[in-house]
Amino acid sequence: MFFKMNKALIYIGVLSLLFSCNQNLSDSSELDETEELKYGIFPQTLPEVKPEFKLSRALERLYDNYPATKPQNNELFSQFKYTDIKGFDYNNHDGTISRRDPSKVIFYNGKYYVWYTYRNTPLPPQGAEKSSDVIPSADWDLGEIWYATSTDGFNWEEQGVAIKRPEKPVVGWRAVTTADILKWKGKYYLYYQGFMEASGKRGDDCPVAVSYADSPDGPWTPYNQIVIPNGGEGAWDQYSIHDPYPLVHNGKIYLYYKSDFGEKGDWIRMQGLATADNPLGPFTKHPLNPVISSGHETSLFPFKDGIAALVYKDGNEHNTVQFAQDGVNFEIASITEMMPYAAAPFVPDAFDDTKDGRGITWGMAHFIALGGKGKFHSKLTRFDCDLSLDLHDPEMKEPRVNYTPEDYFKRSLSNKQKERIEKSTAAYTEN
């Protein structure tokens, strides 16, 4: 009897042990399955849809921040190519004639139109201290707004002045520069910077003025009032409202602008937004300004149901194309290179208040620092790209650009850098 009871107890114990082991194995199996859900082997073929397992931050960005997983499929990625346009004289590039800061290009009555800053002075820029009523301090100082037309975008015919400098003390008496165009309810409006002192006296200070006309050919009637004022004391846009750039969005005029702030010689450049129901104002600055943290000039266009921006040169997010569905909260859509300076695209739907923006394929820009020392001036150029929903140009979508050694050697060390390196090398080798 005792033996049988012991045998039964042993049997029950063995069963309990087996059950316990099986339970542990089952738990272990569940943990393994859970681990497989948390971590996975990234496949050899790049998934177009975000995988359902844990990803690194780099891969999270790839799927969450960009319109496509590869630049070739990203409608907001493009290379940029440039063409030397015809129709403009620069006085043998002696620095006395300059054309820069073009407007967005529009199409009217069978022709393309572009407006730009035009300077024709006895001498090239001489700096603020040497400037006078006829001698410019900077490349845009003493400038006026001129315009040109073209039937193909490559060959241009200069039409002459659109906006002259007004008499002192009207806004812009020193220079009117950096214009951009708006079409609103059958009329045309040119917004531009209005300088009332030579650039460089303190910084590059100015507000925004406007003129209007019934046709892109004018005549233009100046409003003779500030339409986008500088910010209040201590505000980021206290001193300058640059690069006014109007679009029509959500039934309103969305006018983007740039401001320089910070210390002289170490300027910070960001972009803001002001909106209005009337081209002559009042304009209301957005409470989230600045809305773009980088970029030297404003360059935007309707894209799908939002607005895209070309952001180059200044700030942590330079050399990017950005997008904001609401036109305010911009996110990086792509990173690219050799972006156009002062990009002024041809934007067919700029004033359509569209919810299906088609993007851009070409525009105007400028090259600066031509002529060498003592002959500083700028010239207009054409750029082409593929930031369009209606075009797929594989050459523009190629992310790898092979530069020649000569391209790299143009970025040579300055004499100051060479001296620093020589001293550092000598000190290192002596020790």
Structure tokens at 204: 């590059």
Query: Which residue type does 200 have?
Result: G
The pLDDT score that the predictor gives to residue 372 is: 79
Is residue 373 over pLDDT 90? no
Q: Averaged over 132-141, what is the pLDDT?
A: 96
B/e letters for 299-327, b = 16+ CB within 10 Å, e = fewer, are: bbbbbbebbbbbbbebbebbbbbbbbeeb
pTM here?
Answer: 0.89
Q: Give the DSSP per-residue string, 359-425.
A: EEEEEEEEEEEES-TT--EEEEEEEEEEEETT---HHHH-------HHHHHTSPPPHHHHHHHHHHH
pLDDT 10s digits, 198-209: 988 776 788 999
pLDDT 10s digits, 320-344: 999 999 999 999 999 999 999 999 9
Residue 192: name the closest of 136, 255, 138, 276 by CA.
255
d(CA 32, CA 76): 41
Q: Averaged over 368-382, what is the pLDDT?
A: 91
The pLDDT score that the predictor gives to residue 271 is: 97
Is residue 36 over pLDDT 80? no
Q: What's the longest Cα–Cα distance across the chain?
A: 126
The pLDDT score that the predictor gives to residue 37 is: 54
d(CA 126, CA 86): 28
Strand-pairing partners, residue 145, are 117, 163
Query: Which residue type does 268 have?
Result: I
The pLDDT score that the predictor gives to residue 22 is: 45
Residue 375: name the closest of 92, 87, 143, 144 by CA.
92
Q: CB under 8 Å to 11, separation ≥6 — which residues?
A: none
Query: Which residue type does 139 have?
Result: D
Q: Lowest-confidence range among 5-19, 67-81, 186-200, 380-394?
A: 5-19
Is residue 14 over pLDDT 70? no
The pLDDT score that the predictor gives to residue 264 is: 74
d(CA 80, CA 383): 6
The pLDDT score that the predictor gives to residue 38 is: 84
- Strand ranges in 3-131 using DSSP code E only, listed in sequence order: 81-83, 97-100, 106-108, 111-120
Q: What is the mean pLDDT of the chain?
A: 91
Residues counted in the chain: 431
d(CA 431, CA 29): 62
pLDDT 10s digits, 89-117: 999 999 999 999 999 999 999 999 999 99
